[in-house]
């Protein structure tokens, strides 16, 4: 059955099946092509008649993931120019007062889209939530610090999309006064940035940060070095006008090339210390301190300015970094000889490795490396942000996703919790293995719905005196007080 809704720009036609109405590929901003690719987002042109919204919209220019990662999670790439679009799932477009959740996808700020199967919002709509997933500019288009162009265009897109949500949520039965933003990886980092941003006031009311942090931001002068290198590789002047004349295929090639160079040779003297240090050699184009959206590292902003805090649900997977080391073959090169040489790159001394090794008798050097960097990049920063939110008098709930994938060596890796959050296990077997526990998906998904609806995911708040963490696992999940606190202390964090 078709369903028609009026939104900013005109009318859209969606499809209703099994009590869920779905609207796909609705433009929330004008197509950012040519010179507009390096400008702030603008309203989408109005259309006449009724626009079909029954297929996913275009995605920002990007290359497929390398084969080992592609095999696990697939890749995104739908051609077209109207890639600043949203998808909406709702149980009742004629209703009112429903909680709204806005999903911000991950992908290291260079890949990803809202069109992935494991991001299907049907289960959220089934359970009474209006789920809206957004696209935003990525890579060079969204985050290159091009002289003469506004910084953080991808984050400006996210803010523009959230304003669209405020204007249009009610058309789908949603309550614009009860909006929860949530995202994973780069999406989780975006959530941290948006919570800390002065420009986001009133656009959302709760936040969920999955496998993110609040430290992955670069100084503008360092990020500009990358833009200059990209321009040199393209044979153009490093200006917004010159970049605007470059077609998407050349941009894709350039951003892949510079990302590989940065990963292979993470020299702070060449790229800038904040690009290498805060991006850990993995991120090439990512948010920049601009004095506008990002005034400092979001982790530091939330600690210093408690008025920015909103109720927070945040967490990480136990073995995040195995996703980046084991499928890719990097782990095979980490042994007892190379580990002491590798850790200083992350600012980690031998005493830290001793603590982690003592807690993991018989673990290989690659296991120790993944555990340390998991905590350094994800767990420590997430915990600091939860501490700041709790200190500000807002509710903070912390979780750890500990269930091991059925795929050998992944364990509880990065991305693994997403199909459980979306209750989309049928589309995730390349990542989860053949028999993921539906009971755990029911539990995790219910917690996210509960938090977006009432602010309570179902376990005690994280507070300085208790530091409760919900550990999601199978056959049983538990609440643990300050898990592995000695390891965080070894890294210089924690109580």
Question: pLDDT tens, 92-150?
Answer: 999 999 999 999 999 999 999 999 999 999 999 999 999 999 999 999 999 999 999 99
Say if strands 468-472 and 478-481 run parallel, antiparallel, or are unpaired: antiparallel
What local confidence, expressed as pLDDT, does residue 148 receive? 93
Element (H, E) at 4: strand 2-7
User: Which of these is catalytic: 397, 404, 414, 445?
Assistant: 414
The domain at 2-218 falls in which architecture? 3-Layer(aba) Sandwich (3.40)
Chain center to CA of 164? 20
What local confidence, expressed as pLDDT, does residue 432 receive? 97
User: Which of these is catalytic: 122, 133, 185, 388?
Assistant: 185
Task: Give the pair of three-digit tokens for residue 23.
Answer: 């609207």
User: Which of these is catalytic: 82, 184, 229, 320?
Assistant: 320
Catalytic residue at 397? Answer: no
What local confidence, expressed as pLDDT, does residue 236 receive? 95
Is 271:262 a contact under the CB 8 Å cutoff? yes
Burial bucket for residue 212 (CB in 10 Å: 0-12, 13-18, 19+): buried
Catalytic residue at 320? Answer: yes
Catalytic residue at 414? Answer: yes
What local confidence, expressed as pLDDT, does residue 1 receive? 80
What local confidence, expressed as pLDDT, does residue 426 receive? 94
Say if strands 130-134 and 85-90 run parallel, antiparallel, or are unpaired: antiparallel
What local confidence, expressed as pLDDT, does residue 257 receive? 93
What local confidence, expressed as pLDDT, does residue 495 receive? 58
Q: What residues of the chain score a pLDDT lower than 70?
A: 494-495
What angle do helix axes 365-374 and 350-358 make, rounded to 10 degrees?
Answer: 110
What local confidence, expressed as pLDDT, does residue 494 receive? 62
CATH 3.40.50.1820 corresponds to the domain 319-490:
yes
Per-domain boundaries in the chain:
2-218, 319-490
């Amino acid at each position: 059955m078709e369903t028609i809704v009026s939104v900013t720009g005109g009318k859209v036609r969606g499809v209703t099946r099994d009590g869920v109405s779905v609207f796909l590929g609705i433009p929330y901003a004008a197509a950012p092509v040519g010179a507009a690719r390096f400008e702030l987002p603008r309203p989408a042109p109005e259309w006449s008649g009724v626009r079909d919204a029954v297929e996913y919209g275009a995605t920002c220019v990007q290359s497929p993931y390398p084969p080992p990662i592609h095999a696990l999670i697939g890749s995104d790439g739908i051609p077209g120019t109207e890639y600043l679009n949203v998808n909406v799932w709702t149980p009742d477009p004629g209703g009112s007062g429903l909680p709204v959740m806005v999903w911000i996808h991950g992908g290291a700020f260079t890949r990803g889209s809202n069109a992935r199967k494991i991001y299907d919002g049907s289960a959220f709509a089934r359970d009474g939530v209006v789920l809206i997933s957004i696209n935003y500019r990525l890579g060079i288009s969204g985050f290159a610090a091009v002289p003469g162009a506004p910084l953080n265009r991808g984050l400006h897109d996210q803010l523009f999309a959230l304003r669209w949500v405020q204007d249009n949520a009610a058309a789908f039965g949603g309550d614009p006064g009860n909006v929860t933003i949530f995202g994973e990886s780069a999406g989780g980092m975006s959530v941290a940035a948006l919570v800390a941003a002065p420009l986001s006031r009133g656009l959302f009311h709760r936040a969920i940060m999955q496998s993110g942090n609040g430290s992955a931001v670069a100084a503008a002068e360092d990020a500009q070095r990358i833009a200059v290198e990209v321009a040199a590789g393209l044979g153009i002047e490093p200006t917004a006008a010159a970049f605007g004349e470059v077609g998407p295929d050349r941009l894709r090639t350039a951003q892949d090339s510079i990302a590989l160079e940065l990963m292979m040779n993470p020299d702070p003297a060449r790229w800038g210390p904040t690009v290498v240090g805060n991006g850990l050699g993995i991120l090439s184009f990512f948010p920049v301190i601009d004095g506008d959206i990002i005034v400092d590292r979001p982790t530091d902003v939330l600690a210093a300015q408690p008025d920015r805090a909103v109720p927070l649900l945040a967490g990480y997977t136990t073995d995040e970094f195995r996703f980046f080391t084991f499928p890719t073959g990097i782990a095979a090169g980490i042994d007892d000889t190379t580990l002491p040489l590798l850790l200083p790159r992350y600012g980690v001394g031998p005493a830290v490795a001793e603590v982690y090794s003592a807690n993991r008798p018989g673990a290989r050097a690659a296991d120790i490396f993944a555990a340390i960097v998991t905590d350094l990049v994800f767990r420590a920063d997430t915990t600091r942000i939860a501490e700041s939110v709790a200190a500000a008098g807002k509710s903070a709930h912390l979780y750890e996703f500990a269930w091991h994938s059925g795929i050998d060596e992944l364990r509880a890796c990065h991305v693994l919790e997403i199909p459980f959050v979306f209750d989309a296990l049928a589309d995730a077997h390349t990542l989860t293995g053949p028999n993921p526990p539906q009971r755990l998906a029911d539990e995790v998904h219910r917690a996210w719905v509960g938090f977006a609806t009432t602010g309570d995911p179902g376990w005690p708040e994280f507070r300085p005196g208790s530091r409760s963490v919900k550990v999601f696992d199978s056959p049983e999940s538990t609440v643990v007080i300050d898990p592995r606190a000695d390891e965080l202390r070894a890294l210089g964090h924690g109580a």
